[in-house]
Amino acid sequence: MLKKTPIFILFALLFGSATMNAQAAPKYGHMNLGNLLELLPDTKKANDDLKLFADDLSAKDDSLTKAFQAAVATYQTAYQSGTLTPVQSQTKESELQKEQEAIQKFEQEAQQAVTDKRTELLKPILKRIDDAIKAVATENQYLMIFDTSSGSMLYAAETDDVTDLVKKKLGI
């Protein structure tokens, strides 16, 4: 009987050790995605490309605005000198209003184009970062990784959806 006791104790210790390792505390991580983005050379190139794109649109907007302002000044001079008939005046005002609306539409479309271009340029960079985060999380057994710059979750291990359990607890 004495010979079985040391084997039993050894078995119990090994089993207990394995159980403790299996129940290791979950690991959570965090990082600042904004700071990481600033460090990447790809981001600098994307920002430079975006600036060139935005500057081109801005130059076109400036050109349209200057042409509009010149047309308004010409109209005002002609109107004040009395060289326009009421019909001509009304027609010119209508043309100027349409031109102003076209400029406003261009500005809105330009803003959307810059937003779309930014998304297009950053998408592959963010994909690379996302892949790296997932790899780090998997290799280092992190259950979740949070972005401290936005408070959002960057990675989460596969988990159970507990919605039904919560609904049951709430009596729903």
Query: pLDDT tens for residues 80-92?
Result: 999 999 999 999 9
Query: What percentage of the chain exceeds 70 in pLDDT?
Result: 84
Q: How many helices (H) and strands (E) does the chain have?
A: 5, 3
pLDDT of residue 23: 58
- Please write the tens of the pLDDT for every residue from 103-116: 999 999 999 999 99
Instruction: Identify the helix (H) or strand (E) that includes residue 71.
Output: helix 41-81
Name the phi and psi angles at 123, rounded to 5. Answer: -55, -50
Assessment of whether the complete model's pTM goes beyond 0.75: no
Radius of gyration of the chain (CA): 33
Backbone torsions φ then ψ of 13, nearest 5 degrees: -65, -45
Q: Residue ranges of the domains in the chain?
A: 25-170
pLDDT at position 1, please? 47
Task: Tell me the two tokens of residue 51.
Answer: 């600036």
Tens digit of each residue's pLDDT (9 = 90 or more) over 56-68: 999 999 999 999 9
Q: Note the pLDDT of residue 27.
A: 86
Element (H, E) at 2: none
Q: What pLDDT is stored for residue 15 in this prediction?
A: 53
1-44 per-position pLDDT tens digit: 445 555 555 455 555 554 444 557 888 899 999 989 999 999 99
pLDDT confidence bin for 133, thresholds 50/70/90: very high
What pLDDT, on the 0 to 100 scale, is given for residue 156?
84
Mean pLDDT estimate for the chain: 86
Q: What is the DSSP letter of 171?
A: T
